[in-house]
Structure 1
Amino acid sequence: MFTLPQMVQGMSLDDLTLYRTLKKRLMDKRRRNNLRNAYYDGKNELHDIGYSLPHVASDIDIVVGWPEKAVDVLANRIIMDGIRTADGSKSLPDNVYQLIQDNALFESAAQAHKSALVNSCAFIAALAGDTTIGEPSTIIEVFTADHASGVWDARRHGLEAALLVEVADDDKETASVIYMMTYEHTLVIERANRGWEVVSDQANTGRIPCELLAYRPDDRRPFGRSRITRAVMSYTDSAVRTFLRSELQADLYSVGSRYLLGADKSMFTDAQGNSIPKWKILLDSVLVIPDNPKTGDRIEVGQFQQSSFQPHIDQLRNTASLFAAATSLPPDELGVLTDNPSSAEAIDKAQKELCLLAESCQASFGFAWLNILKKALGADAPELVLQWRNPATPSRAAAADATTKLVSAGILPADSEVVYDMLDLTDDQRKSLRAYQQVKRAQERLDQLYSQLDSVNGGSDGDVGNGVRETTE
């Protein structure tokens, strides 16, 4: 069970007051965060409305993965796949490249973005590593909203204070290290023999070494909004109930209901006098009822028309349409097929809305990532630019065709970083191209010098071994 200490040794009264404020905010938000995590993981509890489902439905597990789909489809369009210097004229400095490699930065960024979409926000922090145990000197760590909280400073457009909790990998969310950051310092809190105490106090300057990744923030809600909204949860519950009704109908009512005229209870008892369960009578392929031995009357047996699945299918399609509208997804993405599939215009419209959301996330997330990279690199931090994958996810052929037209028209130079961005080239591909361009430019410069030298000497000098020119006095 996730718990935090109430008292911390070695902490001033002001810091302790702030710590308790941040702790209360964190614990108060955990219930809603855990609920959204459950919906994303497909572990949400069924919300029965009383009359719509029989009691036996509580024993049937139905999972609807729509919330996961709503998050993953957008997260897959917010991919940071490279970092370059602002001038684009040289490869990354060694300290930047080493920071990316040590922290698996692009993989961590993808996980942080997905967490922000689920819980409305996530936290990224630049922490000092312990090199004596093999850690890198600087660690960029992601903290989910389940284990972090903060205070927003609207004047500085950043966090004024943050409480970050590292948890052990023991399936119990046991807190192992706590970080509390303010403009003045960063406190590292660990468990000791006497409880929890401050083991490190590091001074801060400027922005705190922690940034907020918030999805769709505004002035009223600077910590953003979850992609798993109340509407998403409501539509998911409705879909689960619809699936349950169809499952129950398939198992119990697909054979149709019978009716008997002139029967009595004695005809539905076994040899021991026990009543035969109704479900067994309903599912029996052969129903044998003898004539009344006293009167000789024959029991009339009939059957009601078999129930149809069509109402369930129609309701599921309607729910899927509402869910798609709430999440800007094409209905076909939800696995619900219709007689009239979504038109190309409808699909294009939904994808454009997703692209707009992804571009908005790239702008707000990119601001936070650049700030945390500057904190991690310190005074030697160069001006960096993040490379984002095109959220429209065009094919390689389409991207190359559009780029070729712009280069041919003279709008873009063929070897610019903008062209590389449009082609979604990886960092390794960019490095290879830059190296090739340097060799090419050097060769062109040599050729120019040889040409100038030939013109000065009247073109009388020839080439000698291996293409190296030799001049004579």
Structure 2
Amino acid sequence: MDLELLVDLLEALEAPQYRYAELEKYYHGHQSLAFLSPESRAALGERFGRMATNLPRLAIGCLSERLRVTGFSNASVWPLWLANDLDQLSDSAHRDALLFGTSYAVVWANERGNPQVSIESPKQVTVLADPGSREIVAGLKRWTTKTTTEAALYLPDRVIRLRANSLGAVATQFNVVDEMDNPLGVVPVVQLRNAERIPVGAPYYYPERLLDWGWSEVHDLIPLVDGINKLLADMLVSAEYTARPRRWATGIELIETPRVDEDGNPVLDDNNEPIMDVVSPIPEGPRTMWSEQAEAKFGQLDGAALTGYENAVNVLLGQIMAVAALPAHMVGIFTDNPASADALRASESSLTARAESRQKMFGRAWERVGRLMVAVQDGADPDTVDVRTEWCDPATSSAAQEADAVTKLVQAGVLSRLGALRRLGYTEDQIQQELADTAADREAQTDAITKQYHQALMRNEQ
């Protein structure tokens, strides 16, 4: 075992963990109030420690729900994809990649020799890439049990199982417990990186280092979300103390009442005299106020308007909509709801374009997963397997309009039946089932026509 390589992998795994913890807090809406002063925090204690509108989860959800793999150009890949439940688990990989900037898939063989794919979190898995070719040269997965730290080191020629009899172990504490050959000839770890720029390998500089870790969709939203949460907290405090109307009264003499302690006994001063407090004769609780004095007057002060907070929140929401490519109707601005299907698609055009960009980035990784699955299944060289990822249309479309457009293309001879079914979003399994059902219907119709023909001949002969 190469100890220096293990040290590099463990450092690469540990370096972004603090960032992952921060991003995860924002995704779950558990971040603290960023603009709360230490004095205010001490005064509030635990009574108002969390006030969060979970726009980061909304931004990731709106993007990931448009990233759905519908098939592969290589017909042998899709059954393996379904056998590993990747039609469901791929969504988790996309969400982690959008949140943390990267996620992973490990491809190996199970006990029966069939391809087995596991979706992995960047909190447990990392890789090292050759800066020249950008190919992955080593991978590591680390996890813990109650008493040990386990690890798997993935190399192009072998896979090594490691164990340390302690938690939080360093590289020198790991011992080899198993080692097996890697017949694939490549590292069986695939990285889904969410990065619009090329990583430059700057391990000691921030934010350049984010290019190596991958870019989180939440990163740019953090200061804006903190600002909105601060405004919402201020608005709620203002609503409690100033937005409720206050009553007033004039022409009424105040009364004196003795101050009492918790037990109801009068509080005495240094002269052993009861301490008197001047209070209003009208308590806060009753709904009706009355006074026998003719000069008494009652009134009510208007509550403070909160429209200033609304305007400030809308300013920050506009920035979030621009940064996250979210249309107005997705962030709760109901005055700008699209009036038609075309207007809806136009309002989501930026989000659709961003989803198409992520499809291109993640498509390469899923093609790599497909090659490795076929290589495990057939024993082929992964580099010789031709696979292309097919995605669903990320745009919001009307089923009736889409079907009408596809029908016209088929009638014009532009699309075949298979192409029409793919354009409508059918998966490969659904397409094959539809073709089989169509063939069965035609055969049944042919049998019925043949039967009617023979019955007519028999009647004529009689």
Partner-residue secondary structure (3-state), 1:59: coil
Q: What is the distance in 1 between the residues matched to 2:233 and 2:39? A: 10
Q: What is the distance in 2 between the residues matched to 1:31 and 1:165? A: 17
1:388 maps to: 391
The answer to whether the aligner puts 1:331 opposite 2:328 as a matched pair is yes
2:401 maps to: 398
Deviations for 1:318-366, whole angstroms, at most 9, x for unmatched residues? Answer: 111111111000122112444x657879864552222222112222212
Contact 2:345–2:395 at 8 Å: present in 1 too? no
2:207 maps to: none
Q: Out of 406, 410, 428, which is 1:407 matched to? A: 410
2:433 maps to: 432
Contact 2:51–2:229 at 8 Å: present in 1 too? yes
Q: What is the distance in 2 between the residues matched to 1:179 and 1:238? A: 42
Deviations for 1:250-276, whole angstroms, at most 9, x for unmatched residues? Answer: 223333467899999977955745999
1:225 maps to: 215
TM-score (norm 1): 0.72
Contact 1:80–1:110 at 8 Å: present in 2 too? no
Cα distance, 1:182–1:328 mapped onto 2, change above 3 Å: same
Q: CA RMSD in A?
A: 4.2
The answer to whether the aligner puts 1:109 opposite 2:90 as a matched pair is yes
Partner-residue secondary structure (3-state), 1:33: helix
The answer to whether the aligner puts 1:20 opposite 2:7 as a matched pair is yes
Deviations for 1:98-152, whole angstroms, at most 9, x for unmatched residues? Answer: 5334311111111101110000111111123345xxxx74321111121122223
The answer to whether the aligner puts 1:421 opposite 2:422 as a matched pair is yes
Structure 1 unaligned spans of 5+: 1-10, 86-91, 291-297, 444-462, 468-473
Q: What is the distance in 1 between the residues matched to 2:198 and 2:255? A: 70
1:151 maps to: 128
Q: What is the distance in 1 between the residues matched to 2:47 and 2:338? A: 36
Q: Out of 24, 40, 44, which is 1:37 matched to? A: 24
Q: What is the distance in 2 between the residues matched to 1:175 and 1:395? A: 54
Cα distance, 1:76–1:268 mapped onto 2, change above 3 Å: farther
Q: What is the distance in 1 between the residues matched to 2:283 and 2:356? A: 58
Partner-residue secondary structure (3-state), 1:36: helix
Task: Using the TM superposition, give the Cα deviation of residue 438 of structure 1 relative to its aligned residue in structure 2, in angstroms.
Answer: 6.7
Contact 2:33–2:229 at 8 Å: present in 1 too? yes
Amino acid at match of 1:333: M
Q: What is the distance in 2 between the residues matched to 1:157 and 1:407? A: 44
Amino acid at match of 1:81: T
Q: Out of 179, 182, 187, which is 2:160 matched to? A: 187
Task: Using the TM superposition, give the Cα deviation of residue 21 of structure 1 relative to its aligned residue in structure 2, in angstroms.
Answer: 1.3
Deviations for 1:25-75, whole angstroms, at most 9, x for unmatched residues? Answer: 211200111111111111111112429967338522323110000000000
Q: What is the distance in 2 between the residues matched to 1:372 and 1:438? A: 34
1:129 maps to: 110
Q: What is the distance in 2 between the residues matched to 1:69 and 1:167? A: 32
Contact 2:162–2:176 at 8 Å: present in 1 too? yes
Partner-residue secondary structure (3-state), 1:201: strand
Contact 1:64–1:236 at 8 Å: present in 2 too? yes
The answer to whether the aligner puts 1:235 opposite 2:235 as a matched pair is no
Task: Using the TM superposition, give the Cα deviation of residue 24 of structure 1 relative to its aligned residue in structure 2, in angstroms.
Answer: 1.3
Cα distance, 1:267–1:366 mapped onto 2, change above 3 Å: same
Deviations for 1:188-232, whole angstroms, at most 9, x for unmatched residues? Answer: 224569964341232355431111111134223254310101x30
Cα distance, 1:268–1:316 mapped onto 2, change above 3 Å: farther
Cα distance, 1:217–1:179 mapped onto 2, change above 3 Å: farther
Aligned length: 407
Counterpart mapping for 1:30-69 below 5 A = 30-50=17-37, 55-56=43-44, 59-60=47-48, 61-69=50-58
